[in-house]
Amino acid sequence: MRAIVDKMTSFTTLAKMPWIADDIMAPLATDLSPGQFAQLAWAKKRAGSELRCRLGGTPSEIGGESFLIGSEENRNVVLMFLGAAAPQPPPPGTGPYGPGCIQR
């Protein structure tokens, strides 16, 4: 996610966004629209300090492919990323896939 945000917040990408949004979103499996994804990138760019977020989920395998099945907490992580809620670290004991954000 961080690499995507860094790429999306470059001046060149932001200038081209109306024409390339579908190409950027094509390889991603998400229910966010290109506009919402651009808003996430812009919020990150404006934040100034580094905010590391994990959406979290449950590891699963479907048809031989590995996936993380999202949890209800993903909504809260997006709100933290957008600045609508204070960043909260992943809960203790949630392992490597716990949802949450860390401000650095």
The 10s digit of each residue's pLDDT in 24-73 is 656 666 677 777 777 777 776 766 667 778 887 788 898 998 888 877 78
Distance from C-alpha of 21 to C-alpha of 35, rounded to nearest angstrom: 8
Shared domain check, 57 and 44: no
Q: What is the DSSP letter of 91?
A: P
Range of the domain at 62: 51-104
Shared domain check, 43 and 55: no
pLDDT digit string (tens) for 64-77? 988 888 777 888 88
Residues ≥6 apart with Cβ < 8 Å to 54: 77, 90, 97, 98, 99, 100, 101
User: For residue 8, is pLDDT > 70?
Assistant: no
pTM above 0.95, yes or no: no
Angle formed by the axes of helices 11-25 and 34-47, to 10°? 140
Q: Which residue has the tokens 């629209």?
A: 33
Which of 38-42, 50-54, 80-84, 95-99 has maximum average pLDDT? 80-84
Shared domain check, 44 and 62: no
The number of distinct structural domains making up the chain is 2
Shared domain check, 11 and 56: no
